[in-house]
Structure 1
Amino acid sequence: MSYARFAVYYLPPDGALAEFGAAWLGWDCVAGRDTVRPDVPGLDDVTMTPRKYGFHGTLKPPFRLAEGTHVEGLKLAMSQVAQTCVPGQSDGLAMTCLGRFLALAPVGDTFDIARVAATCVEALDTFRAPPDAAELERRRKARLSERQEALLQRWGYPYVMEEFRFHLTLTGRLPVDQIDHWSETARTHLPPLPAPFVMDEVALVGERQDGRFELIQRYALAG
């Protein structure tokens, strides 16, 4: 299959958390298929924005392949990165609200998680085509700080390196008066969350022609 863009994700391993995320969002990016949703009124609407990405934590944001590069070379580079990258770990995961959307985020020291993400961003940068003018304009609508603008120009995305915050998205942007409701609703469906949270593998994913992302290959971190 041909893909419009690629990204590096953390995808939870097979188990209760991965099953929850796929069902909650309605898209299983590992299996590449729609899922049976929980019977929760309004769930389809509040998960519409993150659905196409699947249940994941972004490590290297979506990018188009640079001219002169190809998928097989990207896979090889991913394998080389994984062979030398040390796994990351935090005390656990907890649900939180980030900019009015709900997500699972690491608890405690997140240095190691950020290190894995920074490694992926930097080591694979030669495969990233520069963002076009339309994408730059869209990013700048968020009123970027001076540092975020510099990161956008250098890495093609404003929320990397020290501006990065790892999270697994559960909803789109919520009205303020619905945050508590959806927080409680999500908690009633969440399985026990990992403690500690260990990131010992990463995944290369691709954006299909229908705009949805799916798994291409997982890579164990063996550094």
Structure 2
Amino acid sequence: MSAARYAIYYAPPPESPLWRFGSDVLGYDAATGATRPPLAPEGFSAEEWLRLTAQPRRYGFHATLKAPFRLAEGATEDDLVAAGRSFARKRRAFDLPDLAVTALETFAALTTREPSEPLSALSAACVEAFEPFRAPHSPEELARRRSAALTEAQQANLERWGYPYVFDEFRFHMTLTGSLPEPLVPRAVDGLARLYAEHVGAAASTVNAVTLYVEESPEEGFRIVDRFVFGS
């Protein structure tokens, strides 16, 4: 089986202030594959911030719609791209709801201020539409991914769809840090909120595409393969 993993993510348009902000915070631009000087909140050195963002940097700035998966037997990247383009032709753009920097347990992320039915519907559609391309987890992978912290519904999602947080369990978020020591969480959230206000502010963002990412091998970070623009 190929080591490559694919994912369907929401990623802001690469020319948007939101994309530049997220990529700068993580120190990596998944559109170009280039590293960037980290945009660290006040009170954090560049070196410290690079360490605290190492885990999400590997995945690039995004919100998960279809979690990383290996290709099913017989499926190819070209097949996946064709399916992505077909999927996008049937959808229409909508405004991204207002976002805020929040703490999700021990990491900082951008989340929607209010629940968004269009985002939930888009996530559900992606989970189902791209499922035929997902190779099932091996028994060993499932055992590794199971957690006592998962609810019964989340365990069932993991076994059926390869990821616990789908459908009713979906929560839109764009991760900005790895797991932080508890005393650093409020400082990181406050500092990132100020940076978000400065660099993004009231700039509107649009959900006008879903984006295919690939990780060629565990040693490499995810990068963008293609953006499937809605209605085109």
Question: Is the aligned partner of 1:174 residue 2:180?
Answer: yes
Question: Is the aligned partner of 1:150 residue 2:159?
Answer: no
CA displacement at 1:15 relative to structure 2: 2.5
Question: Is the aligned partner of 1:212 residue 2:185?
Answer: no
CA displacement at 1:222 relative to structure 2: 2.1
Between 144-153 and 64-73, the greater mean CA deviation after superposition: 144-153
TM-score, structure 2 as length reference? 0.88
Question: Is the aligned partner of 1:33 residue 2:34?
Answer: yes
1:124-153 CA distances to partner (integer Å, 9 max, x unpaired)?
110000012232122212532111111111
Q: Is the 8 A contact 1:90 1:109 kept in 2?
A: no
Match of 2:10 in 1: 10
Give ranges in structure 2 of 5+ residues lacking alignment: none
1:16-60 CA distances to partner (integer Å, 9 max, x unpaired)?
221121121111101012112236412112101111111111111
Match of 1:70 in 2: 76
**Cα distance between partner residues in 1 of 2:16 and 2:79:** 31
Q: Give the secondary-structure state (helix, strand or coil) at the position aligned to 1:203.
A: strand
How many correspondences in the alignment?
222
| Counterpart AA for 1:34 | T
CA displacement at 1:220 relative to structure 2: 1.2
Match of 1:106 in 2: 112
Q: Give the secondary-structure state (helix, strand or coil) at the position aligned to 2:85.
A: helix
Match of 2:57 in 1: 51
CA displacement at 1:197 relative to structure 2: 4.7
Match of 2:231 in 1: 222
Give ranges in structure 1 of 5+ residues lacking alignment: none
**Cα distance between partner residues in 2 of 1:195 and 1:115:** 24
Identity fraction in percent: 39
**Cα distance between partner residues in 2 of 1:24 and 1:90:** 20
Q: Give the secondary-structure state (helix, strand or coil) at the position aligned to 1:91.
A: coil
TM-score, structure 1 as length reference? 0.92
Match of 2:20 in 1: 19
Q: Which ranges of 4 or more aligned residues in structure 1 deviate by more than 6 Å?
A: none
